[in-house]
A and B are shown apart, each in its own frame.
Chain A
């Protein structure tokens, strides 16, 4: 894994908002088929860093390499182009539409087109959605259910399924387990493991160390805009949490 070119490499990323230095030169590497946990206190810079990777923000300084190639990203459309999908906490779905419509939102398959407007190929989209949910072991009574009638966990699963549906190279998940019940969290984490099994590379932002401990291969801790820890996930949960929390709150600060 180490000898291959990493799927994402971010070098010395800096970003200022007015006078505030949100990121003070952060490096990040994501390998192929790896799940990377990104943790830190509020305002540590996690979301800013991920928004830069997904094209929502433009960094003041620093370089981004995808598969070893240096790229410039100016918008989230550029990020889509490079196969980077970001999953936002609760912005993801339209509750008034059904599962199929949500999965294919913005990239509907059409039968017949005049210019940009075309007739929806519902049959194809239905089958593909069913296949996708099957593959990810997401259980639903029907793909024609409206999203508003689904539980929080199911909605998150649909959002994740959509982000990974179109051959994403990297999927970024922003707090995928926030505001979910214990049972739903387990389902989402199972889904993340399933995605890894199928070869996806994923970055997860979370406050809940327990959650990402279960699924992550590696964890990065940000504190006040700097990377203070980059460690493999090993050992039992209690010692590991103690180790990481020390960095999060700043009790330890020995990252070279």
Chain B
């Protein structure tokens, strides 16, 4: 029996080219398991919900909605990633975003301010709130958990004060409401013929540009890694990865162009992601944030001001909380008494699912965005399936725990190897 099995396998093993391929694929999977795991998880979730909802989950309309729903959590998750990288946490941002949304609504509806002015006001308030947290945490050395818990209470109270007399404030400003509900305009000069019939052309075009840009930047990155004597994946695996990722972007583009195209929320999130990705990876500010997270004493000794970094990170969190408040209030065309409830925990969960480390120093913008989509896909899919909210919480809890356990396990394994 055993001999038979060995005989069956032997030719496979003896084929050197094939074994080399399998080996290298294994190795790459092991080395990048953390990152791949996240994408695989998102893919599995999408497939499961597509099957259980008979394709409704993957419909243009639902994906478009999902992206708009994820928007206000995604921007918070990005800010939270920076906070977690410097080993802090910010519990106050959920109600802060709700409160700032209500302030914007009040400014527009009762003070008759224009939308841009109201938005500018709450951005300023967001920075102020971040500065306050930064002062408590960076200057007074109060643990972030405690300082932002106070913020959680305070902003919750502030939100109720603003909405006290009127309850829900309905927003009638069209410009403001378009941010959460509108879509980018289409290119009307392209004729509506062939496969382009009923397709949002600008979205389609942008999708193609993104794919081209992605392929070029990956090739560039691979060449740089080769230059630095890093082990890179063999060329055929690299091509497989390129094809898969391009296909994924292509599918998303196709789905979105089939509905109403790219929403303004999606545009906002993309701009924020690109901006933060750039800051974290290409500038000295990002480098200093990682350094402070990795070893604050060493950072301080080399002349980086830990205090200043703390202020900066919490102020950025405040700005993003304001943005989240805008996206949410605009999406529902109103400010409610419960806006922002539990947003902070969704943002924290998204960051951890996306690979941020609770001990600081580690976390990626791209990871947190995927994490936000994982968490919101779960909500969206389970809502479509009509699963009771109580079960939904339990499922999301399990996913969060699984992600962190997976993270710790793969990280420990890495340490054993070295």
- Residue A252 lies at the interface, judged by CB distance under 8 Å to chain B: no
Q: Give Cα A96 to B288, complex, Å.
A: 12
What is A's interface to B at a CB cutoff of 8 Å? 76-77, 80, 88, 91-97, 101, 105-108, 110, 116-120, 126, 141-144, 148-149
Pairs of residues from A and B, 5 with the lowest C-beta to C-beta distance, nearest first:
A106-B302, A94-B294, A96-B361, A96-B294, A94-B295
**In the complex, what residues of B have CB within 8 A of residue A97's CB?**
287, 290-291, 294
Nearest chain-B residue to A149 (Cβ)? B418
**In the complex, what residues of A have CB within 8 A of residue B165's CB?**
none
Q: How far is the CB of B151 from chain A (nearest CB, A)?
A: 27
**In the complex, what residues of A have CB within 8 A of residue B283's CB?**
117-120
Q: Is A95 a contact of B229 with CB atoms below 8 Å?
A: no
**In the complex, what residues of A have CB within 8 A of residue B228's CB?**
126, 142-144
Nearest chain-B residue to A118 (Cβ)? B284
**Interface membership of chain B positions 265-299, coded 1 if the CB is closer than 8 angstroms to chain A and 0 otherwise:** 00000000000000000111101101101110111
Q: Give Cα A142 to B284, complex, Å.
A: 21
Q: Is A93 a contact of B418 with CB atoms below 8 Å?
A: no
**In the complex, what residues of A have CB within 8 A of residue B293's CB?**
96
Q: How far is the CB of B74 from chain A (nearest CB, A)?
A: 24
Q: Is B299 a contact of A94 with CB atoms below 8 Å?
A: yes
**In the complex, what residues of B have CB within 8 A of residue A110's CB?**
284
Q: Give Cα A97 to B302, complex, Å.
A: 14
- Residue B111 lies at the interface, judged by CB distance under 8 Å to chain A: no
Nearest chain-A residue to B292 (Cβ)? A94
Nearest chain-B residue to A94 (Cβ)? B294
- Residue B304 lies at the interface, judged by CB distance under 8 Å to chain A: yes
In B302-341, the 8 Å CB interface with A consists of 302-304
Q: Is A95 a contact of B294 with CB atoms below 8 Å?
A: yes
In B135-170, the 8 Å CB interface with A consists of none
Q: How far is the CB of B77 from chain A (nearest CB, A)?
A: 20
Q: Give Cα A126 to B224, complex, Å.
A: 12
Known: A141-B229, A149-B418. A105 touches B282 (CB 8 A): no
Known: A108-B284, A117-B284, A117-B285. A93 touches B295 (CB 8 A): yes
Q: Is A106 a contact of B299 with CB atoms below 8 Å?
A: yes
Q: How far is the CB of B289 from chain A (nearest CB, A)?
A: 11
Known: A105-B304, A141-B229, A144-B228. A93 touches B287 (CB 8 A): no
Known: A120-B283, A142-B228, A142-B230. A101 touches B291 (CB 8 A): yes
Q: Give Cα A117 to B286, complex, Å.
A: 9
Q: Give Cα A33 to B114, complex, Å.
A: 69
Known: A110-B284, A118-B283, A143-B228. A94 touches B290 (CB 8 A): yes
**In the complex, what residues of B have CB within 8 A of residue A77's CB?**
303
Q: Give Cα A92 to B295, complex, Å.
A: 8
Q: Is B299 a contact of A142 with CB atoms below 8 Å?
A: no
Q: How far is the CB of A8 from chain B (nearest CB, A)?
A: 20
- Residue B28 lies at the interface, judged by CB distance under 8 Å to chain A: no
Q: How far is the CB of A102 from chain B (nearest CB, A)?
A: 8
Nearest chain-A residue to B225 (Cβ)? A144
- Residue B301 lies at the interface, judged by CB distance under 8 Å to chain A: yes
Q: Give Cα A94 to B361, complex, Å.
A: 9
In B336-392, the 8 Å CB interface with A consists of 361-362
5 interchain pairs, CB-CB under 8 A: A91-B298, A94-B294, A96-B290, A106-B299, A106-B304
Q: Give Cα A101 to B304, complex, Å.
A: 13
**In the complex, what residues of B have CB within 8 A of residue A88's CB?**
297, 301
**In the complex, what residues of A have CB within 8 A of residue B290's CB?**
94, 96-97, 101
Q: Is A91 a contact of B284 with CB atoms below 8 Å?
A: no
Known: A96-B362, A108-B284. A91 touches B295 (CB 8 A): yes
- Which of A93, A120, A141 neighbours the largest number of chain B CB atoms within 10 Å of its CB? A120
Q: Is A93 a contact of B298 with CB atoms below 8 Å?
A: yes
Q: Give Cα A80 to B299, complex, Å.
A: 14
Q: Give Cα A119 to B279, complex, Å.
A: 9
Q: How far is the CB of A79 from chain B (nearest CB, A)?
A: 11
Given A97-B290, A119-B283, A148-B415, 9 more A-B residue pairs with CB atoms under 8 Å apart are: A92-B301, A94-B299, A95-B361, A96-B361, A105-B299, A108-B287, A118-B283, A142-B228, A149-B418
Q: Is B302 a contact of A107 with CB atoms below 8 Å?
A: yes
In the complex, which of the residues B229, B291, B361, B362 contacts A105, with contact meaning CB atoms closer than 8 Å?
B291
Nearest chain-A residue to B284 (Cβ)? A108
Q: Is B298 a contact of A94 with CB atoms below 8 Å?
A: yes
**Interface membership of chain B positions 225-269, coded 1 if the CB is closer than 8 angstroms to chain A and 0 otherwise:** 000111000000000000000000000000000000000000000
**In the complex, what residues of A have CB within 8 A of residue B415's CB?**
148
In the complex, which of the residues A106, A141, A148 contacts B303, with contact meaning CB atoms closer than 8 Å?
A106
Q: Is A105 a contact of B302 with CB atoms below 8 Å?
A: yes
Nearest chain-B residue to A123 (Cβ)? B224
Q: Give Cα A127 to B319, complex, Å.
A: 37
Q: Give Cα A107 to B302, complex, Å.
A: 8
**In the complex, what residues of A have CB within 8 A of residue B299's CB?**
94, 105-106
Q: Give Cα A117 to B283, complex, Å.
A: 7
**Interface membership of chain B positions 99-138, coded 1 if the CB is closer than 8 angstroms to chain A and 0 otherwise:** 0000000000000000000000000000000000000000
Q: How far is the CB of A82 from chain B (nearest CB, A)?
A: 14
Q: How far is the CB of B22 from chain A (nearest CB, A)?
A: 25
Known: A96-B293, A101-B291, A117-B284. A80 touches B303 (CB 8 A): yes
- Which of A88, A96, A116 neighbours the largest number of chain B CB atoms within 10 Å of its CB? A96
Q: Give Cα A26 to B303, complex, Å.
A: 29
Q: How far is the CB of B220 from chain A (nearest CB, A)?
A: 13
**In the complex, what residues of B have CB within 8 A of residue A117's CB?**
283-285
In the complex, which of the residues B288, B297, B418 contacts A91, with contact meaning CB atoms closer than 8 Å?
B297
Nearest chain-A residue to B303 (Cβ)? A106
**Interface membership of chain B positions 377-418, coded 1 if the CB is closer than 8 angstroms to chain A and 0 otherwise:** 000000000000000000000000000000000000001001
Q: How far is the CB of A146 from chain B (nearest CB, A)?
A: 10
**In the complex, what residues of A have CB within 8 A of residue B301's CB?**
76, 88, 91-92
Q: Is A105 a contact of B298 with CB atoms below 8 Å?
A: yes
Q: How far is the CB of A244 from chain B (nearest CB, A)?
A: 31
**In the complex, what residues of B have CB within 8 A of residue A126's CB?**
228
**In the complex, what residues of A have CB within 8 A of residue B362's CB?**
96
**In the complex, what residues of B have CB within 8 A of residue A80's CB?**
303
**In the complex, what residues of B have CB within 8 A of residue A148's CB?**
415, 418
